[in-house]
Chains A and B, each alone.
Chain A
Amino acid sequence: MQNILEVKNLSKKYKGFELKNVSFNLQKGMIMGLIGENGAGKTTTIKAILNIINSDDGNIKIFNLEMKENEKQIKEDIGVVLDDSFLSDYLNAIDINKVMKNIYQRWDENLYFKYIEEFKLPKDKIIKEYSSGMKMKLKITVALSHNPKLLILDEPTSGLDPIARNEILDILQEFIQDEEKAVLVSSHITSDLEHIADYITFISNGKIIFTKTRDELIDNYGIVKCSKEEFKKIKPKDFIKYKKNKYEYEILIENKNEFKKKYKIDVIDKATIEDIMIIYIKGEK
């Protein structure tokens, strides 16, 4: 299947933080969740992909074109939602259309107002008076209204109630219905991505820990809970990391079924993405 986005060896050094050799690919028709703790480098990665910050090293290809050389052409086909930044707080939905139809060559006014109606967004209220859910839906509307092929969203569900979050996940799944498009969405609310994301890319402390399909993670990964004695019997090559709690050991394993064949331990739970994240970050080997 064809890649829509290729990130290769992306590196950027800041004081106190470094993005190190970040690489991953996103294929057509797929939703990729970019997860990681706050400050792990999710936003920096997204900014570097979009050439908003100059990376020190690395290469970005979007729609099979080099980003640095075809920036304007590529950006005509990308829709972006940023967590904490937008056009202005003092415009209303009608004003935004007036601005945006000059920005994108393929801006679709009718589509824009169709979404505005569908999401029940008031047209004449300034954005400052919107609720956070409405604001996010407006941002997504703007990101969708020039018919992009790639949607990049930075924390689109943070600060929203479950109902609004649900609606946003619906929009994303609707977006990839035709198989030519793809979504890259970062979030620290992992349960949102646990359902709809096809791929999960886990970034921690500026480095990619893994990119895996959702099914690989949820169906195979497991959390073993056991006593100290039982833990001592487990070979290091059979688990990823462990976390010592007050009353038990929590051990992250890559394959529940194989583990069950080798060891006689009763409690093996399904691992949620959150569990995996926590043990990777907090656990030891």
Chain B
Amino acid sequence: MNRIKGLIIKDFLNLKTYRVTALFILILFATVSFINDDILSFIPIFIPLCAGMIGISSFNYDNITKSDRYILTFPVSRKDMVKSRYLYIFFITVIGEVLAVLLSIILQSIKQQSLVNVIEVLSISLGTFCGIMILQIFEIPIMYKFGAEKGRIIQMFTIVAIAFLISGVAISFIKISSISLEEFLYIMQKYGLIILTLVDIFLYFLSYKVSVKIFSKKEV
């Protein structure tokens, strides 16, 4: 476990060079959303999205120094490496999420000077979080399979493909189960987040297993 901790620390320390840029982006987001009076459709979505992207960028850092090969000279297994990567990306997305929630609440309370709708902030955030996780479920194995360079391009196509896939699944679900669109939207509104969260957790674990399999065969 210590070794996994060490690898996660490495990924976080790599971000030191990002500090100024990250702060700048944060302030920019805050200001723009504040002026546009559109805090909730901006902050809780874009900040975690950026955090997730930063998490994935750890593959690029590794690629620059070919650190996979070096790390494998340590008493560290390939499985440890994949595990640490998943945990790191998860942690940094959560940090982005928490930051987004806090910032939304603070900005809202300054703006409205009235009661802040915490439930709304949280449900939007959780929704985004689940969305980002779905992206990562595909992104991470792709990065392992194709490497950081090619992975980035393939990743773009995947995002589009996932969008189609999800809507496709939803539409065929409606067709097969003979529920009307209205009924479906109602169900989604009521239970959507819970279903999404459960499916996410399951798929995230599956994605990890797939990545371990891919990485264990990879020549580094």
Nearest B residue to A101 via CB reads B6
Q: How distant is B31 from chain A, measured CB to nearest CB, in Å? A: 28
A76, A90, A100, A101 — which one has the most chain B CB atoms within 10 A of its CB? Answer: A90
Across-interface contacts of B67 in A (CB, < 8 A):
85-88
A195 to B6, CA, bound (A): 39
1/0 per residue, CB under 8 A from A, across B70-95: the answer is 11111111000000000000000000
Q: Which residues B1-30 have CB closer than 8 A to chain A? A: 2-3, 5-7, 9-10, 13-14, 16-17
Also in contact, A52 and B13, with CB within 8 A (given A76-B75, A82-B73): no
A101 to B7, CA, bound (A): 11
Contact partner of B65 (CB less than 8 A), chosen from A51, A73, A89, A95, is A89
Q: Are A90 and B73 in contact (CB under 8 A)?
A: no
A98 to B12, CA, bound (A): 11
Q: Which residues A63-109 have CB closer than 8 A to chain B? A: 71-73, 75-76, 78, 80, 82, 84-91, 95, 98-104
Nearest A residue to B69 via CB reads A85
Contact partner of A102 (CB less than 8 A), chosen from B9, B70, B77, is B9
Q: How distant is A128 from chain B, measured CB to nearest CB, in Å? A: 9
How many residues does chain B have at the interface if contact means C-beta atoms less than 8 Å apart? 29
Across-interface contacts of B3 in A (CB, < 8 A):
102-103
A50 is an interface residue with CB less than 8 A from chain B: yes
Also in contact, A90 and B61, with CB within 8 A (given A82-B70, A102-B6): yes
A86 to B76, CA, bound (A): 15
Across-interface contacts of A53 in B (CB, < 8 A):
219-220
Interface of B is mostly: helix
B64 is an interface residue with CB less than 8 A from chain A: yes
A126 is an interface residue with CB less than 8 A from chain B: yes
Contact partner of B14 (CB less than 8 A), chosen from A47, A73, A91, A100, is A91
Across-interface contacts of B14 in A (CB, < 8 A):
88, 90-91
Q: Are A98 and B220 in contact (CB under 8 A)?
A: no
Nearest A residue to B78 via CB reads A52
Q: Are B75 and A50 in contact (CB under 8 A)?
A: no
Q: Are A104 and B75 in contact (CB under 8 A)?
A: yes
A204 to B109, CA, bound (A): 72
Across-interface contacts of B219 in A (CB, < 8 A):
53
Q: Which residues A105-159 have CB closer than 8 A to chain B? A: 126, 152
Q: Are A50 and B13 in contact (CB under 8 A)?
A: no
Q: Are B16 and A98 in contact (CB under 8 A)?
A: no
Also in contact, A87 and B9, with CB within 8 A (given A53-B219, A76-B75): no
9 closest pairs, A vs B, by CB? Answer: A102-B6, A85-B66, A80-B73, A75-B75, A72-B75, A85-B70, A85-B69, A99-B10, A95-B13
Q: Give chain A's interface residues, CB within 8 Å of chain B.
A: 47, 50-53, 71-73, 75-76, 78, 80, 82, 84-91, 95, 98-104, 126, 152
Further 8 A-B residue pairs, CB within 8 A, beyond A72-B76, A102-B6, A102-B9: A50-B73, A86-B70, A87-B67, A87-B70, A89-B65, A91-B13, A99-B13, A103-B75
